[in-house]
Structure 1
């Protein structure tokens, strides 16, 4: 009996050690697995929104003609006439949100004040819980004709609505319509414009430029506004790479 008890005790000790090892391995691997899942989920949601927006533009072009012939003067000022005429009617199930909360954190987690630029901004909700709002940049009054094709409607997207982290590159992304850009006709483009670097449209930048330059790109050093992160994900084949500022 004593020998049997000893063997049983030894077996129990082995089980406890094994469980301890499993616990340690789980503690080490679970964060990585969770992050991997979150990245894949983010990309999947981003692709859905991108598809919804492009389908809406295609329908609008079919009914209203090519983008360059739309009434671009509607982009001036703070009115919502442009998106209400050319975009919202073609997004199935979209509705105006009753929540006026304006939250946008930069890549480093600091608050960005872009939301304060247009006090009349309205937020819209999709059936999948995604939140959208719109900003307008009217450049047709510029003294430099080279700036005309920067006239745009920027679409700010929060993939999971008002849930956290409300942070650029994580659940907050930007897509843009450039009605006068020849290489963006009839499309919604990922990203925006590099506001303090080259001033180039994000979809035209190289991957290196998107990750290392400017203040509105998708810098891998976690600085800046992160408006170009959707463009980086798209450029990487709809994947979040290891050097992405996550």
Structure 2
């Protein structure tokens, strides 16, 4: 009985750690896979349409009906994504928020939402540079943490696509969100502790591995 009791205590102490380690590995794999696939999609579109500088645009608009409500599927961002990115990725479903902004669902259970310029200034209907990648269904992610801001760095990870600018991670493909940091690693690590959108960069800088001192528990 004593031996069984000890085994039970040890299991109780180690099981949560094993579960979290598995969760970390799964999230790392999802992030690395998404990063690879979406940048491969960009390369494929470049082979078809030319340099990304020519077909990228940081502009979005959503049509409205006679009652002023957004018309789902009418955004220029969605049409752009479907042509240049989605055509090379396994998009199985598209949903919309109350502003007509699309979220794209992939076959592996992850999703990507267009944030416009919405991560920094909450302007989701204008622009096309900010994107949020979800390691699970976005609704599940948001319910788990209560708010959009609290989900960031946990099950929602911010990216930026701005190949025509010289800002941090500009002139590149889909990269981790590093707005207004100059790409400084210490600045990014510090911001990650209070603004989860910067945590994608922390993971990327560590070779898409979640560091031991990462400030949040991730989920999927």
Whether TM-score is above 0.5 comes out as: yes
Which whole-Å deviations, capped at 9, do the CAs of 1:114-146 have from their partners, x for residues lacking one?
xx7xx12111111111111112249xxxxxxxx
User: Which structure 1 segments of 5+ residues have no match?
Assistant: 1-15, 103-115, 139-150, 194-198
Residue of structure 1 in register with 2:85 after alignment: 87
Alignment match of 1:188 (pick from 165, 174, 180): 174
Native 8 Å contact 1:152 1:179 kept in 2? no
Native 8 Å contact 1:233 1:239 kept in 2? yes
Alignment partner of 1:209 is 2:190: no
Residue of structure 1 in register with 2:39 after alignment: 54
Change (3 A) 1:205 1:37: same
Shift of 1:95: 3.0
Normalised TM-score (structure 2): 0.73
How do 1:66-77 and structure 2 match up within 5 A? 66-70=51-55, 72=57, 75-77=59-61
Q: Secondary structure at the match of 2:131?
A: strand
Superposition RMSD in Å: 2.4
Q: State how far apart, in whole Å, the 1-side matches of 2:8 and 2:156 are.
A: 34
Q: Secondary structure at the match of 2:80?
A: helix
The number of residues matched between the two structures is: 184
Q: State how far apart, in whole Å, the 2-side matches of 1:192 and 1:212 are.
A: 12
Alignment partner of 1:168 is 2:175: no
User: Which structure 2 segments of 5+ residues have no match?
Assistant: 63-74, 119-126, 146-150
Structure with max Cα Rg? 1
Q: State how far apart, in whole Å, the 2-side matches of 1:136 and 1:123 are.
A: 12
Shift of 1:71: 5.3
Shift of 1:84: 3.2
Change (3 A) 1:24 1:42: same
Runs of 4+ in 1 over 4 A off after TM superposition: none
Q: State how far apart, in whole Å, the 2-side matches of 1:40 and 1:18 are.
A: 32
Native 8 Å contact 1:67 1:185 kept in 2? no
